[in-house]
Amino acid sequence: MKHPALSATEPSASPLRVPQLYELVAERLKKSIQDGSYPPGSRLPAERDLATTLGVGRATVREAMGELVNQGVVQTKPHSGSFVRDNALEVMRALKAPPSQPDTSPLSTLAARLAIEPLVAQFAAAVGRRDEEIERLLDLMERTSDLSDPAQRRDWNEADRQFHHRIALMTGNPVMQAIAQVVASAVDEPLWRRLRDHGIHDPARARLYVYEHRLIYEAIATGNQEAAGFYVRQHLERVQKDMLAT
């Protein structure tokens, strides 16, 4: 039996989307705030405790917390923890419906990067040439002196993003370049930026990242494919630990 076609005026159903795990955790926490379990002004349990209670990984809790900070529901205080904002209930009432395209889970982004980017670096090393634009980006990152300054932090983060994207351009492979563009977009989303700034917050750590970038670049420029893949993986594992420590 055929189903009648939708009329021109009948609204079509929106496509189904499976929520990411961090979205479900964020919604659960908001419901706990609304029902008074975590009233405005109260300190939220530690990430490890929330992970145990909710039956998820600590990294997922950190993603959910980052999303709630971005929404203005929660605030984090260094060395003190996370707190429900005094106006959290008003903020939640004013929030619009969840976006149809929420931020990509940073945990998923990092898993994909660990699988893809070492191989991309090896392809770039197979070409084995120097790149003036990458050298400019590295010099810019090294000159950054104060990550507490929003403008300097923004420039450093953009140079970091462009560095990884540039490696894919060096391969000359259009498929790898297209994949790298997807990654570059994911690491420019607000949730990624929130967790990145939380994890990379001091000059010593930033200098270490630049040093690792230089190792990656020199391996690529000199055609050392094995070293290029190794250094990329080592760097991304550090990024994972700093952003989503478990």
38-53 pLDDT tens trace: 999 999 999 999 999 9
192: CB partners within 8 A, 6+ apart: 103, 104, 106, 109, 186
DSSP class of residue 77?
E
Measured distance CA(159)–CA(134) in Å, rounded: 9
Tens digits of residue pLDDT in 104-145: 999 999 999 999 999 999 999 999 999 999 999 999 999 887
231: its two tokens: 């250094």
Measured distance CA(184)–CA(161) in Å, rounded: 6
Measured over the CA atoms of residue 100, residue 105, residue 111 and residue 113, the dihedral's sign is positive
Phi/psi at 83 (nearest 5 deg)?
-130, 145
Q: Give the domain 21-94 fold.
A: Arc Repressor Mutant, subunit A (1.10.10)
Tens digits of residue pLDDT in 179-188: 999 999 999 9
Is 50 exceeded by the pLDDT of residue 6?
no
Predicted structure pTM score: 0.82
Phi/psi at 148 (nearest 5 deg)?
-75, -15
For 106-243, which CATH class?
mainly alpha
- Inter-CA distances, 9 with 12, 14, 84, Å: 9, 15, 44
Residue type, position 168, single letter: A
* Residue-wise DSSP of 44-70: PPPHHHHHHHHTS-HHHHHHHHHHHHH
pLDDT for 197 equals 84
Q: Are 216 and 235 in contact (CB under 8 A)?
A: yes
Measured distance CA(246)–CA(48) in Å, rounded: 8
- Inter-CA distances, 55 with 21, 51, 69, Å: 11, 6, 21
Measured distance CA(21)–CA(36) in Å, rounded: 23
Provide the residue ranges of all domains of the chain, joining segments of one domain with +: 21-94, 106-243
128: its two tokens: 């084995």
Measured distance CA(229)–CA(116) in Å, rounded: 10
